[in-house]
Amino acid sequence: MADPETRPTAAALVIGDEVLSGRTREGNAWHLAKTLTEIGIDLREIRVVADDREAIVEAVNALRAQVDHLFTSGGIGPTHDDITADAVAAAFGAPIGVREDARAILEAYYAAGELNEARLRMARIPEGATLILNPVSQAPGFTIGNVHVMAGVPAVFQAMLEGLRPVLKGGAPLLSWAFRVAAPEGELAAPLGALAARHPALSFGSYPFYRGGAGSTLVARGQDRAALEAAAAELRAMLAALGVSDIAETPPG
């Protein structure tokens, strides 16, 4: 794993019965994972829980204590099953109510008479929170402490995350060097394990695939480009010694 002293850490909490029932294939955590890797923040854990107040409160409190940033997705719309804002407020023991700046955003967006009581729930913001603006459909998210509360609709989640970028300071980005080879991982495992043991500052993964025969993608990851280059040269020599010739390399971009 990367050095915790130089890279901030994060967790994701996805909230929604529709994910646990299989109705929806979740994609926000995947988008977040790619974005955080780009920024240089280590995503340590993803959790998915139901639209259940107690489950949300417990997960928020467990995760926010463990990482630098907790990102939540889902449950901040206008309907009765949107309980994330209230649950996050409860997790912090913070009062929550309609906030005037959030109400003003919604008033500017909706036509006269359209801002009904249900929609006004989307202006409920815990005390002490900062708004996360929503350029897609206006109803804001918010940051309280180290918790960033965002929408579940993918386009809105992505836009909110873009809005947060300026406050997300990353460490050195994690570079990866991939070797896709036409050899089963069981034949590479021993020398790969030995190579990994010689490079404790890097991490090495092996991912099998079965398309036109058994193959493996070996991935070396680390923050130090020179160390990664040295490991890639060793990997190349290792594959040559094993007689593996059909290799597709993807060095860091």
Which residue lies nearer to a copy of itself by CB, 94 or 173? 173
Binding residue (CB under 8 A) for a copy of itself from 203, 230, 238, 247: 203
| Bridge partners of residue 217, in order along the sequence | 180, 207
Binding residue (CB under 8 A) for a copy of itself from 93, 210, 213, 253: 210
Residue keyed to tokens 């993807």: 250
Residues 129-188 that bind a copy of itself (CB under 8 A): 136-137, 153, 155, 174, 176, 185-188
What φ, ψ does residue 120 adopt, rounded to 5°?
-65, -25
Minimum Å distance from CB 136 to a copy of itself? Answer: 8
| Bridge partners of residue 70, in order along the sequence | 11, 147
Stretch binding a copy of itself (CB under 8 A), from 74-82, 84-92, 157-165, 227-235: 74-82
Task: Reduce the DSSP state of residue 172 to 3 states and report it.
Answer: coil
Minimum Å distance from CB 96 to a copy of itself? Answer: 18
Q: 223: which DSSP letter? A: S
The yes or no reply on residue 5 touching a copy of itself (CB under 8 A) is: no
Q: Where are the alpha helices (DSSP H) in 50-164?
A: 53-64, 84-92, 100-109, 117-120, 154-164
Stretch binding a copy of itself (CB under 8 A), from 17-25, 123-131, 163-171, 241-249: 17-25
Residues 103-122 that bind a copy of itself (CB under 8 A): 114, 116-119, 121
Task: Reduce the DSSP state of residue 210 to 3 states and report it.
Answer: strand
Give the torsion sign (CA, 53, 61, 128, 136). negative
Which residue lies nearer to a copy of itself by CB, 61 or 206? 206
